Amino acid sequence: MKIDRRIGVLMGGTSAEREVSLRSGRAIERALKAQGLEVEGIDVGPDVVERLRAGRVEVAFIALHGRGGEDGTIQGLLELSGIPYTGSGVLASALAMNKLYSKQLFEFHGLWTPPYRVWKGDCKTPIPVSKIPFGLPVVVKPLEEGSTIGVSIVREERELGPALEDAFHHGSSALIERYIPGKEITVGILGEEPLPPIEMVAASGFYDYRAKYTPGMTEYLVPAPLMDASLRQVQEMATAAHRALGCAGFSRVDFRLDENGTPFVLEVNTVPGMTETSLLPKAAAAAGYDFQALTRRILELALEKGSWR
């Protein structure tokens, strides 16, 4: 497909994932310019509408992570502006960002997801362990956040209060989810087709923000060393989760595989990291797409009729 439109790469923003977003956006901008495309990098702020107009943006490549970028907000603005954009639409973005609504849809579609409770920050008393039907250990995370920000593994009752307090720094509600011991797996989706799964092996045993973004802290196994049947199963479940939320273009679906190899869907990332060493580009490379080819394919998907709504 010939791409002759002026592209705006939207990055930065004000979420807790701002720095990661800037890295993704700059990598995308370099890759598109290297292909001879007309590109404008835009650090999204209150003047974003004026920046889009001044840059004569005709198609937006969204590299915004977290709130304001993955929650349907920027997608709605682009819809009103009549500007095609990469990735999922308003509703799918909002659903994927909210872990409670995501899980409810996974369950409705028969996809395994760890059992959970939601606890609100305005509750007068902390939740006692006796109120958690699946017991310890649990994972505590903000209801609407990414990049493992504010996430804790709680193995003892005394750790629960501080973990909730940390999660509430990033939102008004927290998800308390049964911890699934086993493997950390992610599956990228590109054009409705699953990419090779990746296993993340963190040196600390916990694939948190530090493990994600500190060189040498995590080993990435691409493709994940799974039996053929398990590999097909996680790819099929990833595709089903992507479709259950109504996602479009591309996404990345995160799993835990328990000690029996049973996969549990954790969440769907509608704007996954897009640095040249991020997980989606690693999976795409294993499928034969270099970084430039990946960025171009994502743009093509955005421009195909109806793919961005």
* Residues designated catalytic: 17, 147, 213, 252, 254, 267, 269, 273
Distance of CA 288 to the CA centre of its chain: 22
Question: What is the Cα Rg of the chain in Å?
Answer: 19
Question: In this structure, are residues 281 and 294 in contact, taking their beta carbons and an 8 Å threshold?
Answer: yes
Can you spell out the DSSP letters for 207-247? --HHHHHSTTSEEEESS----HHHHHHHHHHHHHHHHHTT-
Q: Is the peptide bond before 223 cis (omega within 30 degrees of 0)?
A: yes
CA 248/CA 301 separation, integer angstroms: 9
CA 273/CA 262 separation, integer angstroms: 26
Q: Which of 121, 122, 124, 117 is nearest to 138 (CA)?
A: 117
CA 134/CA 150 separation, integer angstroms: 21
Q: Which of 63, 280, 273, 106 is nearest to 189 (CA)?
A: 280
Q: Which letter does DSSP use for residue 149 in this model?
A: T
Phi, psi of 71 (to 5 degrees): -100, 10
The pair of three-digit structure tokens given for residue 52, joined into one six-digit string? 């889009």
Q: Which of 285, 51, 267, 240 is nearest to 143 (CA)?
A: 267
Q: Is the peptide bond before 142 cis (omega within 30 degrees of 0)?
A: no
Strands (E), 3-107: 7-11, 39-43, 59-62
CA 122/CA 78 separation, integer angstroms: 34
CA 291/CA 297 separation, integer angstroms: 10
